[in-house]
Amino acid sequence: MRYKYLTLVFCLIAGFSAKAQLTDTVAAFTLQEAIDYAQTHQSSILNAKIDEEIARNTVKKTTGIGLPQVNANINFQDFIKVPTNLLPGEFFDKPGEMIPVRFGVKYQSSAGVELSQLLFDGTYLVGLQASKTYKELSTKSLQRSRIETAVAVTKAYYSVLVSNEQLNLLDANIERLKKSLKDTEALFKNGFVEKIDLDRLTVLNNNLETERGNVIRLLDLNLHLLKFQMGMNINSTLTLKDSISNLNVEESVALNDTAAYKSRIEYSLLETQKKLNELDLKRYKSQYLPSIGAFGSTTRSLQSNTFNELFDRSFPMTVIGFRVSVPIISGGIRNYQVRNAKLEIQKTENNLVNLRNGINLEVEQAKTVYRNGFKSLENQKRNMTLAQEVLRVTKVKYEQGVGSSIEVTTAETSLKESQNNYINALYELLINKVNLDKALGKIIY
């Protein structure tokens, strides 16, 4: 399990840099309660919810483009030097000369309101559809974050349960070994056994105590990882309500299901991406169509050579109209945009085929690994039971003087090895069960 420990350490190192909940808590959770807690506290889910809200705002923003646009403007100008133009001298009975004449007044001001309304634009209509599809994509991304969080919390929860089970087995071994050590010490004092017999059991006891300390520290690390995956403050106190005996693992798995990919959020996300690519193509094609807009404005202009008289007279102006923009030549830009959009659709279709095959392969692999793990766990259970029986018989023989202390220490070592194999097989089976459910698309949020 060394690789598992390293993975836990790296996850925690990366996690401590993330923003955790600020309040320390004391809580006891079942597995489902831990998952539910993570669904409302894990930062990845919180960010996915924010992205979903951003997508909703994007839809409203895109819709607003097609609604009436009203703008007001106020303008004031003080001409330090009034502009001068040259006029032919014929206007002033001075032919052949250019006469400088100032046009305008020193102060000018205007205030007006402008209204515009988009009547037709193909790219806007397609953009409105795309924004709704984008919202759908963000909702599915939130669902994916929920599923990934549930998987991570489940695996971390199982790690704690397995560490607890390993600690329980070690405690039982230590208690049994201490009794044997006490009995052997009494026999040694009475001269019935040699000191080497006592030393062998003392070495075993020391090794078990050391291993117990390692498991306790690993259990603490697993708890920290679970709290991190749940979005709980690392300094909080967390206890688990479930136990290994409550878990239900069965050998039977689902029959061959070639349509399992339809239940996977990854496949649904890629299908939504394809819809976006198709809308992209539609948007580029719509650029060949004209766009039509209506507008209207009213303005009141004020002019005077003196500021005090600026508001004495005003000159209104009102205009309405419509504007038609017809694309004619774009240097081939629109044509190549359409071609690239079609190629993007083809890429997405290829990715869908590849993902479908990959999911089917993942399902078969998960089934095989799970079945093998189940058989392995059953075998390790039998081996552990046999090792316990061998130890019992060996101790009886030793106490009756027909066995050696070497046989007892060997039996103790074999039992500890079989227990470690059982713990590893149990952990692998639980993790493989999560992987199988995920592969089959059974984890839904």
Least confident segment among 174-178, 217-221, 257-261, 373-377:
257-261
2: pLDDT strictly greater than 50: no
Question: Which pLDDT belongs to residue 14?
Answer: 45
pLDDT tens, 60-79? 999 998 999 999 999 988 88
Q: Looking at the whole model, is its pTM more than 0.85? A: no
Tell me the two tokens of residue 363.
């399902």
Q: Give the residue, 1 or 140, on which the prediction is more confident.
A: 140
11: pLDDT strictly greater than 70: no
pLDDT tens, 231-269? 999 999 999 998 887 777 776 665 566 778 889 999 999
pLDDT band at 272 (very low <50, low <70, confident <90, very high): very high
Question: Which pLDDT belongs to residue 253?
Answer: 62
Rounded mean pLDDT, 18-22: 44
Question: Which pLDDT belongs to residue 21?
Answer: 46
pLDDT tens, 332-391? 899 999 999 999 999 999 999 999 999 999 999 999 999 999 999 999 999 999 999 999
Q: Percentage of the chain surpassing pLDDT 70?
A: 93
Q: How far is CA 210 from CA 87, 170, 204, 419, in A?
A: 106, 10, 10, 16
Instruction: List 116's β-bridge partners, or say none.
Output: 69, 295
23: pLDDT strictly greater than 70: no
Query: Residue 260 gets which letter from DSSP?
Result: G
Rounded mean pLDDT, 29-44: 94
pLDDT tens, 132-158? 999 999 999 999 999 999 999 999 999
pLDDT tens, 300-333? 888 888 878 777 778 899 999 989 999 998 888 9
First-last CA distance in the chain: 31
Rounded mean pLDDT, 67-96: 85
pLDDT band at 5 (very low <50, low <70, confident <90, very high): very low
Half-sphere exposure of 242 (CA within 13 A, CB side): 17
Q: How far apart are CA 177 and CA 408, in angstroms?
A: 11
Q: What is the mean pLDDT of the chain?
A: 87
> Sign of torsion, CA 332 338 342 348?
positive
Tell me the two tokens of residue 439.
């592969």
Question: Which pLDDT belongs to residue 428?
Answer: 94
- Name the class of domain 248-289+330-445: mainly alpha
Q: How far is CA 200 from CA 184, 207, 253, 405, in A?
A: 10, 11, 46, 8
Tell me the two tokens of residue 334.
């629109």
Question: Which pLDDT belongs to residue 430?
Answer: 93
Q: Give the residue, 339 or 403, on which the prediction is more confident.
A: 339
Tell me the two tokens of residue 201.
């059991």
Which candidate, 59, 64, 129, 124, places its Cα nearest to that of 291?
124
Q: Where are the domains of the chain?
A: 248-289+330-445
384 exposure class (CB count in 10 Å sphere: 0-12, 13-18, 19+): buried
Question: Which pLDDT belongs to residue 98?
Answer: 84
Q: Give the residue, 13 or 357, on which the prediction is more confident.
A: 357
